[in-house]
Chains A and B, each alone.
Chain A
Amino acid sequence: MEIQAEDYQIHYDAASGTVRCQGSLRLAGTEEYAPVAQLLNEAAGQQPETMKLDLRQLQFLNSSGINMLSKFIVRIRQQGKPQITVLGSKGIPWQGKSLKNLQRLMPSLVLELEEEG
């Protein structure tokens, strides 16, 4: 599964159970984010144990995107699986500020922020 747009790319690698988001996501609200949310939910449906969300190259995410991601996390928490690991980068300042909030929604979420470089 994959979404290719001018400003962003989202790719699901089934073998590693990883959804990778790259570029800048600044879509206009829930409706426009629906395909992204669908990809995430389908990927989670195929991963009974663990799933990785690799955001290390996601330069920008607007609040509608944060909303979409948070909804996904709440849904996973309600289902009780899979275990989610979010990979971020310390070199992208918004990630250090905002990604920790996902853990407040689901304390079992693992957040790994890599050093720059």
Chain B
Amino acid sequence: MNQIFGDYREDLPQGNEYLILRFSPTSVPLKERWRNNGLSANFMADYMATFFPGESVVTVKSAVSFIANELIENAMKYSDQSSDFPVTIALYLYRDRLVFLTNNSIAKQQVQTFQSFLRELTESDPAELWLRHLEQNAEEEDSNQSGLGFLSMINDYQAELGWKFEDADPNGVAVSTMVQLRSESL
């Protein structure tokens, strides 16, 4: 299986500046290490801010911190807990854009649900889908997953999103999520 959804660039040029964080699979429950997501996202944001001129620092930090946090939260939530596959998040800096790329395992039984959401996401008008999801969520007492993070990236940050699913050894599936954020949208 090798499936692509949305705007996923396989030919990503090697950037001059990048930062990659890799998290080992761990038996510590997600709840107990949840704070690490925020720490990691803030670190990435602070690190990248160095490469931007004075007045844009606050905006860059805020956008990177939001997007990195959502991506790390998702990767941690949906990683296959029974797998020893690590979670990675990379942030590449290009002249005209920032590219986030996460890679994590996903439990086989969740692949279908996730892919049908991605089909809906890539085929719908994101602003309309955002509204529809929130109205639906409001009706459900414990709606946990809404894909709202992805929708916020698209609607509020004009980011382009793409996904790649690949087979991972021996029974697993790995998913890569790419978020491209253009400098002019910052």
Contacts and interface: CB of A to CB of B under 8 A. Distances in A.
B156 A93 contact: no
Contact of B70 (A63, A70, A104): A63
Interface residues of B, number: 31
Given A93-B63, A94-B66, A97-B157, A66 B137 contact: no
A66 B73 CA distance: 15
A14 interface: no
Contact of B58 (A28, A71, A74, A93): A93
A74 B135 contact: yes
B131 A30 contact: no
Given A62-B69, A97-B157, A101-B130, A74 B138 contact: yes
Contacts of B77: 28
Contact of B62 (A64, A66, A67, A93): A93
Given A24-B38, A30-B143, A91-B58, A67 B157 contact: no
B66 A30 contact: no
Q: What does DSSP make chain B's interface, helix, strand, loop or mixed? A: helix
A62 B70 contact: yes
A98 B156 contact: yes
Interface stretch (B13-21, B29-37, B86-94, B172-180): B29-37
A67 to B, nearest CB: 5
A69 to B, nearest CB: 10
Interface in A59-115: 60, 62-64, 66-67, 70-71, 74-75, 91-94, 97-98, 101, 104-105
16 contacts: A26-B37, A28-B30, A28-B31, A29-B144, A30-B142, A31-B144, A60-B66, A63-B149, A66-B148, A66-B152, A67-B146, A67-B148, A74-B134, A93-B59, A98-B152, A98-B156
